[in-house]
Structures are given as structure tokens and as C-alpha cells.
């Protein structure tokens, strides 16, 4: 179980390392989605 947990966090770390270049894109997309949702709600 402990070994599995460490493997899981290794995978999470790897994914977050790979995702770093896309973080800004993700943030922009989230902002756009939030704005469009709030516009629809009005």
C-alpha cells in the first residue's frame, strides 16, 4: 500500500512537471469558461 502511494505521487509529480508549459493555457481557458458561464447566468 505504501509503495503504491509513493508510485502514485511520483506519477502526479511527473504529470505536473509535464503540464507546467500548459498551466498558463489552462488558467486562460478556466477564466474564459468562468466568464462565459457567468454571462449565461445573467
Read off the pLDDT band of 4 (50, 70, 90). low
For the chain, the domain total comes to 1
Q: How far apart are CA 14 and CA 1, in angstroms?
A: 20
Predicted TM-score (pTM) of this structure? 0.38
Q: For residues 20 and 14, which has the higher predicted lDDT (pLDDT)?
A: 14
Please compute the mean of the pLDDT values over residues 11-29 and round it to a whole number: 83
Domain residues for 9?
2-41
pLDDT, position 40: 77
Q: How far apart are CA 19 and CA 34, in angstroms?
A: 21
Name the grid cell of 7.
508510485
Q: How far apart are CA 1 and CA 6, in angstroms?
A: 9
DSSP 1: -
Amino acid at each position: 500500500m505504501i509503495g503504491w502511494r509513493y508510485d502514485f505521487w511520483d506519477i502526479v509529480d511527473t504529470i505536473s512537471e509535464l503540464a507546467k508549459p500548459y498551466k498558463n493555457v489552462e488558467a486562460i481557458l478556466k477564466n474564459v469558461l468562468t466568464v462565459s458561464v457567468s454571462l449565461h447566468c445573467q
